[in-house]
Structure 1
Amino acid sequence: MDFPKTGSNIEVQSYKHNGQLHRVWEETIVLKGTSHEVIGGNDRIFVHESDGRKWRTREPAICYFSAHHWFNVIGMIRDDGVYYYCNLGTPFTYDEEALKYIDYDLDVKVFPDMTYRLLDQDEFKLHEKEMNYPKELEGILHHAVDELVTWVSQQKGPFSQGFIEYWYERFLHYRG
């Protein structure tokens, strides 16, 4: 698999199980790009929704994408701490167009004190029926939620002490 080069600017695209484009983040600077993971940074970028709406993010964010785990993590840097929004979805793929993944509705919001909340379970159940998710998908995603919660409780990966701060400093360097 190709992977984006450090310092390059990429688009991030999420899709739904039926192949429909769900959401596009216009520009993310690649801070680390390997075949295993991509770490990116952005600040006040445009996001395009599939229904035509367009909005701008409110704060700087560090994004973590894995080629092996069924989730990605966005660390949003706010005045009162780092909030994490974790999307349950396929491991990423990358082509010259964009970094891409399939979003499977379930999300985990993690607060600065490392408490968390599982979101959008109703949306998952609805889309599971509408899009005829394969039976094994629910087990894969529940395992991913368990793995994600373990990472949060152990402060592993993007939840580790200093991770967001380190990559945010790199982002500021590349952004100039």
Structure 2
Amino acid sequence: MGVPIEGEPVQIHSFKHNGHIHRIWDETTVLKGSQNLVIGGNDRTIVTESDGRTWVTREPAITYFHSQQWFNIIGMLREDGIYYYCNLSSPFVYDGEALKYIDYDLDIKVFPDMTFNLLDEDEYERHRKEMNYPEPIDQILKTNVDTLIQWIRQRKGPFAADFIDIWYERYLTYRR
């Protein structure tokens, strides 16, 4: 597995368990790249859905991917604070073409006051049956929901007080 180069743009490819493409983010600037961790930044990037529809993100965002965690985190900088969207997913891989992961439906939305909601449990159950998620994957994902909730409550990693602001400042240096 390669390592994305800091300051360079990278695409992000999200797949479903059955191998089909789910979503592509056209361009994210790599702010930190290693075998274990990729932190990126983007603003008004084009997103292409599996059906070909496209849309543009509305605000700056800092992305967090870890090779040992079954989730990734997007911190979105809005006027009224930082919102987080957390995808339960496979750990990322980077193959030189794009940063890739499997999206496992469950999401956690975190608000600026650090309250949160677990989303898409019905979609997860439907896809778990349709795509035959193996029992070990089901257990890993449930464990990682708990881990993610601990991170939120403990303000760990991307949820730490200044994390998003610090990485956003770094992102702005690459945009100049």
Q: TM-score normalized by structure 1?
A: 0.99
- The residue aligned with 2:73 is 73
Post-superposition Cα deviations, 1:144-167, rounded to whole Å, max 9, x if no partner, equal 000000000000000001000000
Which residue identity does 2:90 align to in structure 1?
T
Give the total of aligned pairs: 176
1:57 partnered with 2:57: yes
Aligned residue type for 1:109: K
In structure 1, the partner of 2:94 is: 94
* Alpha-carbon shift at residue 136 of structure 1 (Å): 1.5
Q: Does 1:16 align with 2:16?
A: yes
Distance 1:170 1:123 in 2: 36
Aligned to 1:139: 139
Q: CA deviation at 1:52?
A: 1.1
Structure 2 CA distance, aligned partners of 1:137 and 1:35? 22
Tell me, in whole angstroms, the C-alpha distance in 1 between the residues paired with 2:133 and 2:81.
36
Partner residue in 2 for 1:162: 162
- CA positional deviation for 1:175: 1.0
Match of 1:42 in 2: 42
Q: Give the 3-state SS of the residue equivalent to 1:12 in structure 2.
A: strand
Determine helix, strand or coil for the equivalent of 1:85.
strand
The ranges of structure 1 where at least 4 consecutive aligned residues each deviate by more than 4 angstroms after the TM superposition are none
For 1:151 and 1:88, how far apart are their aligned partners in 2?
Answer: 14
Aligned partner of 1:148 in structure 2 is 148
RMSD of aligned C-alpha atoms?
A: 0.5
Identity %: 61
SS state of the match for residue 151, structure 1?
helix
> Structure 2: which 5+ residue stretches go unaligned?
none
Measured in 2, the distance between the counterparts of 1:8 and 1:24 equals 17
Which residue pairs with 1:104 in the alignment?
104
Q: Distance in 1 between matches of 2:6 and 2:118?
A: 32
Is 1:129–2:111 an aligned residue pair?
Answer: no
| In 1, Cα distance between equivalents of 2:21 and 2:139 | 24
TM-score, normalised with respect to structure 2: 0.99
Contiguous gaps of at least 5 residues in structure 1:
none
Inter-partner Cα distance in structure 1 for 2:175 and 2:106: 32
Taking the aligned partners of 1:73 and 1:41, their CA distance within structure 2 comes to: 12
1:69 deviation in Å? 0.1
